[in-house]
């Protein structure tokens, strides 16, 4: 059996994530700090998990964030992915909402497998980028997307997905948030019965730790 490790939402080269996700050690945010942050993430992963052919590293999306992808940026991303892969590890990526516009480039970065849908493993875990509404109590959803915010009992009731992060982004940039924070009545029934079924593996949620599947619950 392979040893499976999971992380998510690295947001490599993303300057604004330094502010939005409280990555305070890289302030003031700029391009140079974003590159440093990205290499620090890669180096931290290499320190935490062995470089062995029985190791699988899952990334649950939002590997990169940007409006464009230049030749220089693509070269840096290739270096970051190569660093995370090491000599022997297997890399798997579940696409996040910020990855999908760049799928034609991401598929050449060096991942062994790329999925654009949630993945069920060990007949128990659902790996997804965004939290996945669970109607079966036997499953555990391991997810990304929410950064340092954890899924609460009312998560699926709200109009605004990952509302806290987006509201923070608008407030920080002194813009009026266009989203209605009220609950949608038709979704009131979609309450999480057991928040323990949701495990956040975002880089910002676990003190920059890569989680080992065997250690989850």
CA dihedral (199, 202, 207, 209) in degrees, to 10, reads 80
CA 181 to chain centre: 23
What pLDDT was estimated at residue 153? 76
What pLDDT was estimated at residue 162? 60
What pLDDT was estimated at residue 164? 64
What pLDDT was estimated at residue 190? 64
What pLDDT was estimated at residue 41? 97
What pLDDT was estimated at residue 157? 67
DSSP tally for the chain: helices H, then strands E? 5, 9
- Cβ atoms of 22 and 171 within 8 Å: the answer is no
CATH, range 3-128+140-145+197-215: 3.60.21.10
Burial 109-135 (b: 16+ CB within 10 A, else e): bbbeebbeebeeeeeebbbbbbbbebe
Rg from Cα positions in the chain: 17
Residue labelled with tokens 């609460």: 152
Cα separation, 111 vs 57, in Å, equals: 10
What pLDDT was estimated at residue 187? 56
pLDDT in tens, the chain (217 residues): 789 999 999 999 999 999 889 899 999 999 999 999 999 999 999 999 999 999 999 999 999 988 788 899 999 999 999 999 999 999 999 999 999 989 999 989 999 999 999 999 988 999 999 998 887 888 999 999 999 988 887 777 664 456 666 666 667 667 776 655 555 556 555 667 688 899 999 999 988 999 999 988 6
Question: 102: helix, coil or strand?
Answer: helix
Determine what percent of the chain is predicted with pLDDT higher than 70: 84
pTM across the whole model: 0.86
Q: Work out the number of other CB atoms within 10 angstroms of the CB of residue 65.
A: 20
């Amino acid at each position: 059996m392979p040893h499976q490790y999971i992380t998510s939402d690295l947001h490599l080269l993303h300057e604004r994530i330094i502010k939005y996700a409280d990555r305070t050690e890289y302030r003031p945010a700029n391009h140079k700090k974003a590159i440093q942050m990205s290499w620090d993430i890669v180096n931290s992963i290499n320190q935490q998990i062995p470089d062995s052919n029985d190791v699988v590293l899952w990334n649950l999306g939002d590997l990169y964030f940007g409006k464009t992808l230049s030749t220089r940026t693509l070269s840096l991303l290739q270096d970051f992915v190569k660093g995370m892969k090491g000599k022997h590890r297997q890399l798997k990526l579940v696409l996040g909402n910020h990855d999908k516009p760049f799928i034609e480039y991401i598929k050449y970065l060096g991942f062994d497998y790329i999925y654009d849908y949630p993945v069920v493993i060990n007949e128990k875990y659902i790996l997804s980028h965004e939290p996945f509404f669970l109607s079966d109590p036997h499953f555990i959803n391991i997810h990304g997307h929410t950064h340092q915010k954890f899924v609460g009992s009312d998560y699926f009731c709200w109009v605004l997905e990952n509302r806290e992060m987006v509201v923070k982004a608008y407030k920080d940039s002194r813009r009026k948030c266009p989203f209605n924070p009220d609950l949608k009545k038709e979704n009131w029934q979609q309450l999480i019965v057991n928040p323990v079924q949701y495990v956040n593996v975002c880089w910002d949620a676990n003190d920059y730790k890569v989680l080992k599947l065997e250690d989850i619950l």
